[in-house]
């Protein structure tokens, strides 16, 4: 009789143990599923937050590209510090990746970062205009001068060169390098035969005409932005 009672009690205990174990397993599985759902919801929320953040960035104007464009100024006073070739290579790479008609890349670029070469160009320019003292100041003392020539065989090459120059100046700004776009040296050099040695030194290919300069260097001034007339922009309804 005692053995029968013991056996009955043991069977009941095993059943209870089995049920308890099963319930624990079920609870564990349900817990994992809930945790997984929470993680998934968290990821979904993060994605939504990322999208919201991106929208907010655009709405608030905190956009690195836009800030770079709006922060750039034409620099007319430079430090004597040299701009490394590594930095210049980056700027030139950005320049030649500018939009251009039919991908004709209708430009040629000559970079002068050697002070001796620039000094010789300045001396030749000053000698060509004896009645204009220090005419070489038209280069604004930039330690690096980028000379750009356009392909005369392509009608829109001047636009391509302008787009390239803009890319150069904006990329320079992003790298902490000041810049200025110059047109007066073009007139002085192209219109005076005594400046022919400058063009010869630059060595543009036949069929290309010097059309634009971009000065580069580390800024020694912080000019304020000049006002822009938004009224010149109108939407055609």
Place of tokens 């700004």: 173
| Predicted pLDDT of residue 23 | 44
| Predicted pLDDT of residue 60 | 59
| Predicted pLDDT of residue 61 | 62
Name the pTM for this structure.
0.75
101 versus 35: the higher-pLDDT residue is: 101
Sign of CA dihedral 73, 74, 77, 79: positive
> Tens digits of per-residue pLDDT, 115-173?
999 999 999 999 999 999 999 999 999 999 999 999 999 999 999 999 999 999 999 99
In this prediction, residues 50-58 reach a mean pLDDT of 47
- Does pLDDT of 73 surpass 50? yes
Q: State the Cα–Cα distance between residues 184 and 192, nearest whole angstrom.
A: 13
Place of tokens 């968290």: 42
Q: State the Cα–Cα distance between residues 11 and 15, nearest whole angstrom.
A: 6
A 10 A CB-CB count for 12 gives: 10
SS (H, E, C) 5-17: HHHHHHHHHHHHH
Q: State the Cα–Cα distance between residues 163 and 155, nearest whole angstrom.
A: 15
| Predicted pLDDT of residue 62 | 87
**Bridge partners, residue 110, by sequence:** 147
| Predicted pLDDT of residue 10 | 38
């Amino acid at each position: 009789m005692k053995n029968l009672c013991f056996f009955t009690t043991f069977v009941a205990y095993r059943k209870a143990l089995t049920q308890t174990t099963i319930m624990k397993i079920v609870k564990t599985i349900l817990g994992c599923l809930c945790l997984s759902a929470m993680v998934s919801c968290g990821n979904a929320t993060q994605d939504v937050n990322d999208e919201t953040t991106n929208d907010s960035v655009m709405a608030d104007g905190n956009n690195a590209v836009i800030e770079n464009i709006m922060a750039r100024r034409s620099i007319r006073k430079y430090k004597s510090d040299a701009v490394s070739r590594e930095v210049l290579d980056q700027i030139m790479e950005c320049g030649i990746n500018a939009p251009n008609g039919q991908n004709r890349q209708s430009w040629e670029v000559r970079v002068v970062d050697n002070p001796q070469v620039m000094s010789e160009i300045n001396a030749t320019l000053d000698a060509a205009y004896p009645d204009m003292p220090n005419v070489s100041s038209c280069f604004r003392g930039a330690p690096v001068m980028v000379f750009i020539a356009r392909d005369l065989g392509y009608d829109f090459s001047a636009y391509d060169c302008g787009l390239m120059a803009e890319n150069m100046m904006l990329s320079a700004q992003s790298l902490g390098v000041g810049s200025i776009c110059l047109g007066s040296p073009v007139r002085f050099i192209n219109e005076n035969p005594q400046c022919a040695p400058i063009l010869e030194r630059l060595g543009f290919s036949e069929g290309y005409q010097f059309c634009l300069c971009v000065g580069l260097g580390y800024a020694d001034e912080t000019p304020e932005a000049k006002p822009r007339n938004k009224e010149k922009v109108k939407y055609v309804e």
